[in-house]
């Protein structure tokens, strides 16, 4: 087998041998070797003043092929069949092999950059550069690498490398590449367009607003879209050529100075620039996908920052970064969604500080006007900067005189009132009021707010007053502003505010939904057992409490950890080996009870497990009350080993009068007092009714503190975070979540995205 080959005549008259190795490449397995990206080269060149470039002559041929590999490179010509003794071009593994070889030669030299057969040497002074060149030449001689003298440039302050022009000031596209782009004619085929866009994308860091410029033509890259070229596409093509002709000079980063990131988002794309000392280090832009276009304004603004930092991570990570944003909410520690929370966690690894700037000053004209451009049209760059960075659609402050006046001027009713005031035939309640540097139409000395500005003003005041309550916000705004229905609109906004629902603790009745009535049910002794853990204590050990529901008989045990295996062994030893087998065991959702070992123990005895809803201790209140008693006893015996004291506490519970039972657990279980041995005859039907009356009284007492509300499937609700599971300044609720099912026992199942969770209505409230 051999690969086909032919000759191609070069411009200088010599011949180039071309071999089609595609058939061979299908069977070769690459071992990719890392090739440096232009961005990484840019990071290394900071401070470089002298540059030299070299081209390795017949580079690949420096690598000998093993005798066993030579036959695979065989190729046919009209006058015979040949094979390579050295690494040929066209083999898919050749770049990896050659880059690895060059890295072996120069990899330990920090002042050398190698990209296949293109070698770059850089230094900060002429003397140092000569020393570096001496080292490089010795390496080349040692490994037998020869150079193409015509393509070598030594001791320069400006060189062309990989299609870029490198200078001590920065990097920009090579001039001949710019000219080549300008000479390309309008594409006639999809392949020609893809080639053109690929060339532009190679220089994407230097073309501001590249994404927006290429957007009209990107649709043709898909084979599913017919290649129907329009006049508007020709205009877009020429706009790209024009923008490329004025590509930005990117400065080298100075790692002793902070990086300034200006990021912004519009409805179709995100973008921004990185700057230092009023010079551009990088430009970035990309289109939004079909999902991202539905993001909120805050999410889009944060996405632009996250994408900028991710794209230039190697440059920014570990160094001070100042992010300038025109979205004020981003400078506050608010997390309006799980997506925002996740992104803010990603930002935490950077040395980041957020600064708010007005939309009109977000990079745009102000920042670009202070940049240095070599032989470039500054006015054009101002326009480009305005397109990419000054995309904020909303005013910076709606409570601003000119903004209020502009909206009043567009309202026909307010204009009629203004005309009447100017003519002197107006109602005395209406007047022209000088405020915020403008003359505004007012009612009873309060500025009339047109309909177009009301929602923005409500949100602005709500944010400015730090998420103030509706009534307080209304009383603040009515001092200076007026419109019909103002109070209702402000209170509704505060009531609907998701941040307030998550963060604020309210007084008064705030629990929604009445607990359902209970039915009388006779519980026999040892039918139902409640089990829970208490601790850990100072020695790291735990106590396990087991309580019979009917008699309130308490058993305790000690265990060294809270694993499911240890808990199962404790329950088996302390309860199942001593008392009749229960029908049901009630426990919480801790892994010590939901784990395989504990559940397997219950299954082996034919016992039904009945877990309570998450973070709802009232559902296992019997254990919670006993735990309080145990802790009180342990505190009273300060200085005594708690492992002894817990048994004293257990005896106290067994022997003490219980208000619901009207007796002690010991009297019910043994038929006699545990201290005096006086006989006791238990009336179980009376006890069941007494217990049921107590449950109804508890229900009525709790419902008196709750608001009547009926939850339905599909409702959106917030989920409270119990105090013990949150820090002092943590949000008091999460959500919103959708109710998937309403149960009859005062619980609902909510959709939490990847999972569904059944929770008590005590933990939720309407969204």
DSSP structure string for 511-528: EESPPPPP------TTSE
At 414, which helix (H) or strand (E)? helix 412-423
- DSSP result, 448-459: EPPHHHHHHHHH
Q: What is the pLDDT of residue 522?
A: 65
Q: Which residues make beta-bridge pairs with 749?
A: 741, 758
Three-state secondary-structure class, residue 642 = helix
Q: Give me the architecture of the 708-766 domain, per CATH.
A: Roll (2.30)
Measured from the Cβ of residue 183, the count of other Cβ atoms closer than 10 Å reads: 8
Judging by DSSP bridges, how do beta strands 747-751 and 554-559 pair with one another? Answer: unpaired
Q: Which positions ≥6 away from 247 have C-beta within 8 Å?
A: 172, 173, 178, 203, 206, 207
Q: Return the pLDDT at 378.
A: 33
pLDDT of 389 reads: 35
Residue reference for tokens 């006890």? 687
Contact criterion met (CB below 8 Å) for 408 and 440? yes
Q: What is the model's pLDDT at position 336?
A: 62
C-alpha dist (Å) from residue 44 to 107, 252, 495: 14, 8, 54
**What token pair was written down for 186?**
């309008």
| Number of neighbours of residue 97 by Cβ within 10 angstroms | 17
Q: For residues 274, 280, 286 and 292, what is the CA-based torsion angle, rounded to 10 degrees?
A: 30
- Homologous superfamily of 175-245: Reverse transcriptase/Diguanylate cyclase domain (3.30.70.270)
209 — phi, psi (to 5°)?
Answer: 65, 30
3-state secondary structure of 305: helix
Tokens of 685: 């039907």
Q: What is the β-pairing status of strands 269-276 and 554-559?
A: unpaired
**365: Cβ–Cβ under 8 A, 6 or more apart, which residues?**
382, 385, 386, 390
CATH superfamily of 250-389: Ribonuclease H-like superfamily/Ribonuclease H (3.30.420.10)
How many other C-beta atoms lie within 10 A of the C-beta of residue 44? 17
Contacts of 653 (CB under 8 A, 6+ apart): 552, 554, 626, 629, 630, 665
Stretch (H or E) spanning 69: helix 67-70
Domain 528-702: CATH architecture, name and number where available: 2-Layer Sandwich (3.30)
CATH 3.30.70.270 placement within the chain: 27-168, 175-245
Residue spans in the chain of domains classed CATH 3.30.420.10? 250-389, 528-702
pLDDT < 50 positions in the chain? 363-395, 727-729
What totals of helices (H) and strands (E) does the chain contain, helices first?
A: 27, 33
Tokens of 550: 């009917």
HSE (side-chain half, CA atoms, 13 Å) at 710: 1
Tokens 């505004």 -> residue: 440
Closest CA to 626 of 557, 691, 532: 532
H or E element at residue 558:
strand 554-559
Q: Residue 575: its pLDDT value, please?
A: 94
Nearest by Cα to 584 from 653, 532, 523, 627: 523
- What topology does CATH give the domain 401-496? Endonuclease III; domain 1 (1.10.340)
How high is the pLDDT of residue 238?
86
Q: Please give the Cα distance from 496 to 508 (Å, whole number).
A: 18
Residue the block writes with tokens 């920009």: 172
pTM for this model (two decimals): 0.42
Phi then psi dihedrals of residue 550, to 5 deg:
-75, -45
| H or E stretch at 77 | strand 75-77
End-to-end CA distance of the chain: 73
Q: Residue 231 region, left (φ>0) first, then alpha (ψ -120 to 50), else beta?
A: alpha
* 3-state DSSP assignment of residue 416: helix
Q: What is the DSSP string of 361-401?
A: GSSHHHHHTT---SS--HHHHHHHHHHHH----S-S-SSSH
Report angle CA 409, 414, 417 to the nearest 5 degrees.
120
pLDDT digits (tens, 9 = 90+) for 248-268: 777 888 878 888 888 888 777
Its CATH architecture, for the domain 27-168, is 2-Layer Sandwich (3.30)
Q: Which of 8, 33, 3, 39 is nearest to 19 (CA)?
A: 3
For residue 186, what are the contacts with CB-CB under 8 A and spacing of at least 6? 229, 234, 237
CATH 1.10.340 domain position(s) in the chain: 401-496
d(CA 309, CA 315): 9
Rounded Cα distance between 438 and 217, Å, is 47
- Reported as type and span, the H/E element at residue 706 is strand 706-707
How far is CA 90 from each of CA 33, 60, 164, 244, rounded to the nearest angstrom?
A: 16, 10, 25, 31
Give which of 409, 397, 413 is closest to 483, Cα–Cα.
413
Of 668, 594, 577, which is closest to residue 585 (Cα–Cα)? 594
């Amino acid at each position: 087998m051999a690969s086909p080959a032919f000759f191609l005549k070069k411009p200088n008259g010599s011949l180039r041998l071309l071999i089609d190795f595609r058939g061979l490449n299908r069977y070769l397995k690459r071992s990719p070797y890392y090739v440096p990206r232009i961005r990484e080269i840019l990071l290394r060149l900071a401070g470089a003043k002298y540059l030299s470039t070299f081209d390795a002559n017949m580079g690949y041929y420096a690598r000998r092929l093993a005798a066993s590999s030579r036959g695979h490179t065989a190729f046919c010509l009209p006058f015979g069949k040949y094979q390579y003794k050295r690494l040929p071009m066209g083999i898919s593994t050749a770049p990896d092999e050659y880059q690895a070889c060059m890295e072996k030669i120069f990899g330990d030299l920090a002042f050398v950059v190698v990209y296949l057969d293109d070698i770059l040497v850089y230094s900060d002074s002429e003397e140092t550069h000569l020393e570096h060149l001496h080292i490089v030449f010795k390496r080349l001689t040692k490994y037998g690498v020869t150079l193409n003298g015509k393509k070598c440039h030594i001791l320069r302050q400006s060189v062309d490398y990989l299609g870029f022009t490198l200078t001590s000031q920065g990097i920009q596209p090579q001039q001949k590449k710019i000219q080549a782009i300008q000479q390309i004619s309008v594409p006639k085929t999809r392949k020609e367009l893809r080639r053109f866009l690929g060339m532009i994308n190679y220089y994407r860091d230097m073309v501001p607003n590249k994404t927006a410029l290429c957007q009209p033509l990107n649709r043709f890259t898909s084979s599913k879209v017919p290649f129907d070229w329009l006049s508007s596409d020709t205009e877009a093509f020429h706009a790209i050529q024009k923008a490329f002709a004025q590509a930005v000079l990117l400065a080298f980063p100075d790692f002793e100075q902070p990086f300034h990131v200006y990021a912004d988002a519009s409805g179709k794309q995100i973008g921004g620039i990185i700057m230092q000392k009023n010079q551009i280090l990088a430009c970035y832009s990309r289109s939004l996908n079909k999902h991202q276009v539905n993001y909120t304004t805050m999410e889009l603004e944060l996405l632009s920052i996250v994408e900028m930092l991710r794209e230039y991570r190697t440059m920014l990570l570990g160094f001070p970064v100042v992010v300038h944003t025109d979205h004020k909410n981003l400078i506050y520690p608010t997390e309006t969604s799980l997506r925002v929370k996740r992104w803010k966690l990603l930002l935490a690894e950077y040395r980041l500080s957020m600064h708010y700037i007005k939309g009109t000053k977000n990079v745009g004209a102000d920042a670009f006007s202070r940049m240095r451009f070599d032989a470039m049209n500054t006015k054009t760059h101002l326009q480009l900067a305005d397109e990419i960075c000054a995309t904020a659609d909303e005013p910076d402050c709606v409570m601003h005189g000119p903004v209020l006046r502009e909206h009043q001027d567009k309202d026909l009713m307010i204009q009629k009132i203004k005309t009447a005031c100017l003519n002197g035939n107006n109602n005395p309640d209406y007047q022209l009021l000088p405020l915020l540097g403008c003359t505004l139409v007012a009612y009873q000395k309060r500025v009339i707010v047109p309909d177009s500005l009301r929602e923005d003003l409500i949100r602005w005041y709500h944010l400015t007053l730090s998420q103030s309550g509706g009534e307080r916000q209304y009383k603040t705004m009515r001092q200076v502003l007026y419109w019909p229905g103002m109070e209702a609109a402000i209170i509704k906004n505060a009531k609907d505010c998701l941040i307030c629902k998550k963060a604020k603790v309210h007084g008064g009745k705030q629990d929604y939904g009445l607990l359902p009535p209970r039915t009388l049910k006779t519980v026999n002794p040892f039918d139902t057992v409640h089990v829970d853990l208490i601790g850990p204590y100072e020695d790291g050990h735990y106590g396990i409490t087991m309580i019979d529901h009917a008699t309130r008989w308490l058993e305790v045990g000690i265990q060294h950890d809270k694993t499911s295996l240890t808990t199962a062994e404790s329950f088996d030893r302390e309860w199942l080996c001593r008392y009749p087998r229960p029908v049901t065991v009630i426990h919480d959702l801790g892994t010590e009870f939901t784990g395989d070992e504990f559940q397997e123990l219950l299954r082996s005895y034919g016992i039904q497990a009945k877990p309570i809803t998450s973070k709802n201790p009232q559902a296992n209140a019997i254990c919670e009350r006993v735990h309080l008693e145990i802790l009180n006893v342990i505190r009273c015996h300060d200085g005594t080993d708690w492992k002894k004291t817990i048994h004293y506490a257990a005896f106290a519970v067994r022997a003490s009068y219980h208000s619901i039972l009207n007796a002690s657990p010991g009297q019910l279980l043994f038929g006699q007092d545990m201290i005096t041995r006086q006989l006791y005859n238990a009336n179980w039907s009376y006890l069941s009714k007494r217990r049921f009356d107590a449950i109804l009284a508890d229900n009525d007492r709790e419902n008196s503190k709750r608001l009547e509300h009926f939850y339905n499937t599909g409702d959106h609700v917030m989920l409270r975070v119990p105090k013990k599971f949150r820090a002092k300044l943590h949000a008091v609720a999460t959500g919103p979540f959708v109710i998937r099912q309403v149960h009859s026992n005062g619980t609902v199942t909510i959709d939490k995205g990847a999972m569904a969770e059944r929770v008590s209505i005590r933990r939720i409230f309407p969204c």
